[in-house]
Amino acid sequence: MKKHYRYTALLLLMLVLLTGFPVQAAYGAGSQSENTLVLGTSADFAPYEFHKTINGKDQIVGFDIDIADEIAKDMGAKLIIEDMSFDALLPALQSGRVDLVISGMTPTDERRKSIDFSDNYYQSKQVLMVRTEDKERYKSMDSMKGEKIGAQKGSVQEEIARSIPEAVITSLDRIPDLVLQLQTKRINAVILEDTVAVGYLQNSAVTLAEAVPDDAPVQAAIGIRKGNTELLTKVNSTIAHLKSENRITEIVKQASMLSVDKPQSPGNIFTIFWEYRSYYALGLGYTLLLSALGVLFGFIIGLTISLLRMSGIRAITLLSTTYVEILRGTPMLAQLLIIHYGLALTLGINFTPLQSGIITLSLNSSAYLAEIFRAGIQGVDRGQMEAARSLGMSRWLAMRHVILPQAFKSVLPAIGNEFITIIKESSIISVIGMADIMYQAGVVKNITYKGLSPLIISAAIYFVLTFTLSKLLGAWERRMGASDHR
């Protein structure tokens, strides 16, 4: 049995070492520099900010990024970009995870209550994107009454959609997902900015309708944490000199040309996978790392909690039972957001996306593993403990050398199922900007404007992972159970 434990420990160590390299590559840069400027953005909003492969490397570009570069240059700081969903930008700014937010954000009165805004640096109009076949159907805003309309979650476009009488609104984090909803006829129109819509007009399936939601130009400004007047002054100074030199117009023009200058999209799912294999490889590394460490720490915590539940001490049993019930009775997404944003807002504890992901997966997994271990331990015949104690063993030694080895063998299939579940559930970590498989699938969607193929590829990768793991666990289980048939 000890040999099996050594094999398990070695396997987990190899997973950590093999998949640890992306962490240094993605988070090591700039972490040692004190003079940094951390930018929060949602990089699916071309030409403001978007992913693009340049010289074989994925980069976040756009005129918002160019403006942020100018701000960092004037401050003598190094720019660090944090990509996340649009509705996560304000919590990230308020919690101090990022220094400023540049994401084509409109300085509404509601937003000004929670953050400060710089001077406006750009203005645009809101337009309505519809399917080409419906262009003649939607010619005025009155024609949108009672229709299904899509808008980015937490955006000014969502507010415009809510002002349309009886409209059925679908709010999603990413623009490509809204366009996919439009193409699959789940919604009939998408409200977005004219500069953003340009990139999607290459797809003949969509076009711009004459029904313009808002004729007045909409301003874009930079979000800064309330009270940070020093940074606000520096940002406004950079915006002022960019405007005086008429450089913002040139920056916008260059970014717009870059966003529409797309290479020929791969023709099928196999060429898409091969073309963007490096994206999925990076996501695979993070997924394996999150899953391995989540199960490892979950295993340790879960075993501890299960032993505490059976301690016989009423207060300890009550606390451990409460721990299990709370974690099993609340969604993992809620736990993730509380750990990533809630602790930062209330206690000032700022975890990186990787740390928040590992902590969330570990705690959530531990609650289920605790019940699995408890069932396994209680399934061992009581006579085993009595026999061990009669031989002079302490209760702890009997538990360690007699009870737990038998319990582990009986619950190994359930532990394996939990590992497989964690691999799949780790996909929710992408909502806080963790570059796992699902996050990379979103990046590929943004680059290729292919809504379905990147998702099928990610699903296939998850299937290969879980199927391979289930077969390995099955082989290990048969090997451990070989002695039962002697």
Q: Which helix (H) or strand (E) holds 333?
A: helix 332-337
Query: How does the average pLDDT of the chain come out, rounded?
Result: 82
Q: In whole angstroms, what is the distance from residue 52 CA to residue 447 CA?
A: 6
Which residues does 399 contact at the CB level (< 8 Å), separation at least 6?
307, 385
- Tokens 């002695």, residue? 483
User: 33-121+221-262: what fold?
Assistant: D-Maltodextrin-Binding Protein; domain 2 (3.40.190)
- Look up residue 317 and give its two tokens: 């049993």
Q: Is the pLDDT of residue 132 over 60?
A: yes
Tokens linked to 130: 């519809």
The lowest-confidence range among 96-105, 239-248, 377-386, 422-431 is: 377-386
In this structure, of 157-161, 306-310, 396-400, 460-464, the range with the lowest mean pLDDT score is: 396-400
The string of pLDDT tens digits covering residues 291-303 is 888 888 998 999 8
State the DSSP H helix or E strand holding residue 78, giving kind and residue range, or none if neither: strand 78-83
Reported confidence tier of residue 435, pLDDT bands at 50, 70, 90: confident
Most confident of 2-6, 132-136, 229-233: 229-233
Q: According to the CATH classification, is domain 2-18+272-485 in 1.10.150.530?
A: no
Lowest mean pLDDT among 20-24, 186-190, 352-356, 391-395: 20-24
Long-range contacts of 163-169 (CB under 8 A, 24+ apart): 164/213
Residue 308 CB-density burial (10 A; 0-12 exposed, 13-18 middle, 19+ buried): middle
Which sequence spans correspond to the domains of the chain? Answer: 2-18+272-485, 33-121+221-262, 124-216
Q: Which residues lie below 8 Å from residue 284, measured CB to CB, with a gap of 6+? A: 437, 461, 465
Q: Do domains 33-121+221-262 and 124-216 have the same CATH topology?
A: yes
Which has more pLDDT, 12 or 203? 203
pLDDT of 264 > 70? The answer is: no
- With cut-offs at 50, 70 and 90, classify the pLDDT of residue 20: very low
Query: Please, which pLDDT band fits residue 237 given cuts at 50, 70 and 90?
Result: very high
Top CATH class of 124-216 equals alpha beta
Contacts of 147 (CB under 8 A, 6+ apart): 138, 164, 167, 168, 188, 189
Q: Are 429 and 351 in contact (CB under 8 A)?
A: no
**201-205, long-range: CB within 8 Å, 24+ apart, which pairs?**
202/260, 202/262, 202/449, 203/179, 203/449, 204/132, 205/131, 205/132
483 vs 172: CA distance, rounded Å: 54
Q: Supply the DSSP string of 214-278, one letter for each residue.
A: EEEEEEE--EEETT-HHHHHHHHHHHHHHHHTTHHHHHHHHHHHHHH--PPPPSSHHHHHHHTHH
Contact present, 67 and 102 (Cβ < 8 Å)? yes
pLDDT tens, residue by residue, 443-475:
887 777 677 888 899 999 999 988 888 888 777
